Amino acid sequence: MSADPFNPSPLPARACWVVAPGRAELREALLPPLSPGDVQVLSLHSAISRGTEGLVLRGEVPPTEHERMRAPFQQGDFPFPVKYGYINVGRVEAGPAELIGRTVFCLHPHQTRYQVPAHAVLPLPAGVPAGRAVLAALMETAVNALWDAPPRIGDRITVVGAGTLGLLVAWLAARTPGCEVEVVDRLQARADIVRALGARFVLPEEATPGADRVVHASGQPEGLDAALRLAGYEATVLELSWYGRRDVTLRLGEAFHSQRLRLQSSQVGSLAPAQRGRWTHQRRLALALSLLTDPVLDRLITHSAGFDQLPEVLARLSAVPTKDADVLCHRIDYPAAAASTLTPASQPA
CATH number of the domain residue 317 falls in: 3.90.180.10
Cβ-based neighbours of 188, under 8 Å, separated by 6 or more? 203
- The pLDDT of residue 81 is 98
Instruction: Give how far Cα 300 sits from Cα of 79, 139, 329, Å.
Output: 30, 11, 6
**What's the distance, CA 280 to chain centroid?**
18
Distance between CA atoms of 143 and 235, rounded to whole angstroms? 20
Residue 137: name the closest of 264, 286, 296, 310 by CA.
Answer: 286
Based on the fold, state whether residues 254 and 338 are members of the same structural domain. Answer: no
Structural domain boundaries enclosing 154: 150-265
Distance between CA atoms of 320 and 302, rounded to whole angstroms? 20
Q: Among 230, 265, 300, which residue terminates a domain?
A: 265
Report the number of distinct structural domains present in the chain.
2
Residue 157: name the closest of 140, 143, 174 by CA.
Answer: 174
- The pLDDT of residue 5 is 47
129 domain-assigned: yes
- The pLDDT of residue 321 is 83
50 domain-assigned: yes
Provide the CATH number for the domain around residue 236. 3.40.50.720
133 domain-assigned: yes
Residue 15: name the closest of 33, 2, 27 by CA.
Answer: 27
- The pLDDT of residue 4 is 52
Hey, which residues does 14 pair with through a beta bridge?
28
Distance between CA atoms of 95 and 37, rounded to whole angstroms? 7
Q: Angle, nearest 10°, between helix axes 136-148 and 281-290? A: 110
Distance between CA atoms of 57 and 313, rounded to whole angstroms? 11
Per-residue pLDDT tens digits of the chain, which is 349 residues long: 444 544 456 899 999 999 999 999 999 999 999 999 999 999 999 999 999 999 999 999 999 999 999 999 999 999 999 999 999 999 999 999 999 999 999 999 999 999 999 999 999 999 999 999 999 999 999 999 999 999 999 999 999 999 999 999 999 999 999 999 999 999 999 999 999 999 999 999 999 999 999 999 999 999 999 999 999 999 999 999 999 999 999 989 889 999 999 999 999 999 999 999 999 999 999 999 999 999 999 999 999 999 999 999 999 999 988 878 899 999 999 999 976 555 556 565 5
Based on the fold, state whether residues 122 and 174 are members of the same structural domain. Answer: no
93 domain-assigned: yes
- The pLDDT of residue 339 is 61
Residue 219: name the closest of 239, 241, 204 by CA.
Answer: 241
219 domain-assigned: yes
- The pLDDT of residue 8 is 53
Residue 169: name the closest of 87, 291, 47, 347 by CA.
Answer: 291
Distance between CA atoms of 302 and 135, rounded to whole angstroms? 12
- The pLDDT of residue 322 is 81
